[in-house]
Chains A and B, each alone.
Chain A
Amino acid sequence: MSDLRVLFVAHNHPTLHPGGAEAYALELYEAMRETPGVEPLLLARIGTNVARRRVAHPGTPFSAVNGDPGQYFLFTETEHFDFFTLTSRDKALYTRHLTDFLLAHRPDVVHLQHTHFIGVDLLSQIRRVLPDASIVYTLHEFLPICHRDGQMVRTFDDDLCPEASPRRCNECFPELSPQAFFLRERFVKGHFANVDRFLAPSAQLMEKYLRWGIEEERIEVEEYGRLTPPERAGDPKQMRSPTNIGFFGQLSRFKGAEVMLDAMAQLDSDCDAHLWLNGANLELQTEEFQAEFAERSEELRDRITFRGPYDHDELPRLMEDLHWVIVPSIWWENSPLVIQEAFFHRRPIICSDVGGMAEKIRDGVDGIHFRAGDAWSLARTIERATSSAPLWNELRAGIEEPYAMDEHVGRLLDLYSETIDSRKAVVVGA
């Protein structure tokens, strides 16, 4: 029996632009490459918004990645992407280039990590070109549901949004008619109809897609599997009081940057908490946000240390001085990878009490919840957490090892063969 050919499609390559979903896509590809009987391919989109050069080669959007025969860049023009309808205006991308690519590799499974900058039309084109291929789609956020960067946070008051509808979406974007949102939804769902199985890394994310209309039998929860880090962070040198808190990830509004700064400003004067910001992509935020951030962190320089962008390999060293990791997002999140990182290095987490954070971190077991978006609640939580060594030790003991990549790969392979079998049944039955 020949190897199972699995094509992974990602909206970005982590070597060009750091990000959770793309880092996971590469890890998964690498893990599959090590798995006997599997022949994986990774197709990662690049474009002018992340790459310096435009097209690698004239006449094709494809180019090789570091000489690896299993990895390709797919170049698409950012300006060709319709961010509202989630489609590329350049239809030749599907009908010519991606068709050629699919026919050249004939994957048994196409596992999409994202269709952003590529377009949902790809799903229909895969089905047309490869009628037998099974199509699996991992959902990383709410872009198909929500036009506000897939965050499901209302535009006018930053309230969490539980459910999209043409009427509600028009409330967030008065310049776009309810009919336009209706067409958007129908368009995305029209292409989504070709997907055999959706994977939701968190139950709360799955619940929102179920409410949006994905059928129960086409979606399941499957957490991100992670490779065990080769090296774990040691114990903090200072064990007397757990005062050091670390933030990892994008410093943006949705990630709770403002709530965090507000809370640090509101701490009791006798609280010794200190926040270490390990943040990437500040340069992608608005100038206004960057200026405000600079000013605020200057005011709080006794309480906050900004360490800037970091490499994944540096995590053990960066975690070493820390007692806590904080995840203060004001949106639902999916299953934030930083939670798994913190747990690998056995750091309990202070997090917002909503969405993926509330689901993945157990309040009082391996972390502490505070009221999402509420700086006062966060300040009191930090005061409590940083003043109690016994609490820290107890929560630390409650941490369980994150979902392992090899287990995840095993589950995915089962799922691929399930979907391939049911697809065969459909094709034979037709």
Chain B
Amino acid sequence: MPRATVAEKRLRKALDADEHELRELLREEYAGLDAEERAKLMQKLASTAVGGNGGSPVMSARLHGVREVLRERLPICVVDERQPIGLAVEAILGVDERSFWINGWARTEDGPGELVAISPEGCRVELGEAFRFERPDVVQFYSGLGRADDRDHGFTAFFELPAASRLAAGWVVELHTAGGVAVEVGCPPVNTDPHSVRASILGELAARGPLAGPLAAEHGRHALTRLQERIVTAAEIDEVEVYGEPPKSPEVSVVVPLYRRIDFLEHQLLHFSVDPELAEAELIYVLDSVEQREELAARARELFALYRLPFKVVVPTAGSGYAGANRHGVEVATGRKLLLLNSDVIPDRPGWLGEMCRFYDEGEGIGALGAKLLYEDDSLQHAGLYFHRLPGTEVWENAHRFKGLHRHFPGADVAQPVPAVTAACVLIDRERYEEVGGLPFHYVQGDYEDSELCLRLAEAGYENWYLPSAELYHLEGQSYVAEARRGLSDYNMWLHSELWGEAIAAAMERFDPHAAAVA
């Protein structure tokens, strides 16, 4: 048996034993292996010992100890304007336990050089695919050397490890030049807070060109998709407060996420309380701005006493965005149908919910059923969605049919199939909703989830419909700060097109948004 294999077996056993034994073993037996053998051994241990669901912070700490004994150390790079080689890692961001984002810069005399990241547990990852960009500050710093250097020194990259890494400190990055010189630097501790990691990555995307550029395609998308998954699924239902006695076996559950503007609750309850059909439905509010839980509870108690309409309030452990809040609402929902509703939607008159349910039941194979939504000045906010290709690009934008026209514009007064509908007010059979996986999590801070849901339903063979006889007001965007979302919207739109471009193109072949719907 080769020496390294025997070594691996003994080491693996020792990792599970006590720390003293491990240290002894390392000192006596394995320091003698050559550098290459040690590196291979380390890689094997790190990628299997903590992979999958195994491993623990304790195991990670032991592996880190092993790494410190076995690792071949390179000269530490000292950043000095007289030295030709420079390397700095400015941030390591934990996307999830197995994937990370790195920002920094590297300078050599002879080309970009090769970058290798080494996890605290000893996994080596080559960063050959890193996105390179110009760093004027680095160019200026080295200008004293008197040699023109217009290479892209900056690097930023998403990368994955074969196994989880759970230690914040201990990352090392190596730089190998074409001429065979190699140096290393230590890294700052890993930031694992998902919200600040997301903000940093979005900031990086925005700083390196358009949000939906090549950095997004090759790195940003992978990181953001994993982060979204992590943020959304991290939040769990903490509490469900029930006010009154909701109906036992409701036909429909109305799910309303509340974000910041909890004053909308009072308005909805007033208007819902005069509609007998709402009393038969299960009304579920999900608080996405969890810091308001006390305030909401106090209000909900008082408003229930006043309006007497039963409802539930779901409070998750943390805010998780629009899709996340709906996920919790649906989890609590017991209705056979789901009516997803925004908090800033106020019915024009009673009867809208029954109208939608009857139409849904009478139709065949309806996926999502949308309503007519109005602005406060009685112009159309929503009469169905279609897709509009941005000129000269492959990117599709969501567009609202007849937006801004009069509420009784004839084209908007006919029930008809449409490519998609807004989730500001949408009715879906619960089984169909679950069949296609519900609202996707991968869009950042709420956008395009509804059209993707509709596209998924269409892909599964259902038809999305618009119903003008259900009329409600939608005070669009009142609970969000529009400015903050503008950049994100570009990213979300791009991701939506990446994922669904072909399906959208096919749907738009069949749909003419300008066709007058009247005979």
- List residues of chain A with CB under 8 Å of any chain B CB: 87, 90-92, 94-96, 121, 124-125, 128, 165-167, 177-179, 181-183, 186-187, 190-191, 193
Contact = CB atoms under 8 A, between A and B. Distances in A.
7 contacts: A95-B306, A177-B478, A178-B377, A179-B376, A182-B473, A183-B346, A190-B270
Interface string B336-369: 0000000010100000000000000000000000
Contacts of A165: 377
Contact of B306 (A125, A166, A181, A183): A125
A188 B270 CA distance: 10
Given A179-B475, A179-B478, A94 B271 contact: no
Contacts of A167: 377
Contacts of A177: 478
A92 B478 contact: no
B308 interface: yes
B460 interface: no
A181 B308 CA distance: 26
Nearest to A170: B376
B302 interface: yes
A121 B273 CA distance: 13
Q: Is the interface of A mostly helix, strand, loop or mixed?
A: helix
Interface of B: 266-267, 270-271, 273-274, 302-303, 305-308, 344, 346, 376-377, 473, 475, 478
Nearest to A92: B302
Contacts of B270: 124, 187, 190-191
Give the residue among B270, B344, B473 with the most A Cβ atoms within 10 A. Answer: B270
A193 B267 contact: no
Contacts of B308: 128
B273 to A, nearest CB: 8
Nearest to B307: A124
A50 B492 CA distance: 56
A92 B298 CA distance: 11
Top-3 shortest CB links A-B:
A182-B376, A91-B302, A95-B305
Contact of A91 (B271, B274, B303): B303
B306 A94 contact: yes
Nearest to B475: A179
A28 to B, nearest CB: 29
Nearest to B301: A91
A90 B346 CA distance: 23
A90 B308 CA distance: 16
Contact of B376 (A90, A95, A125, A178): A178
Contacts of A179: 344, 376, 475, 478
B306 A91 contact: yes
Give the residue among A124, A128, A179, A181 with the most B Cβ atoms within 10 A. Answer: A179
A370 B297 CA distance: 56
B374 to A, nearest CB: 10
Contacts of B478: 177, 179
A128 B8 CA distance: 78
B442 to A, nearest CB: 30
Nearest to B376: A182
Given A124-B306, A179-B475, A166 B271 contact: no
A191 to B, nearest CB: 7
Nearest to B267: A183
Contacts of B273: 124
Contact of B305 (A92, A182, A187, A193): A92
B271 A186 contact: yes
A190 B274 contact: yes
A77 to B, nearest CB: 15
A183 B376 CA distance: 9
Contact of B267 (A95, A125, A128, A187): A187
Contacts of A186: 267, 271, 346, 473
A380 B305 CA distance: 60
A167 B273 CA distance: 28
Contacts of A94: 306
B347 to A, nearest CB: 10
Given A92-B305, A125-B306, A166-B376, A182 B271 contact: no
Contacts of A87: 266
Contacts of A90: 302
B377 A91 contact: no
A257 B117 CA distance: 80
A178 B306 CA distance: 27
Contacts of B302: 90-92, 95
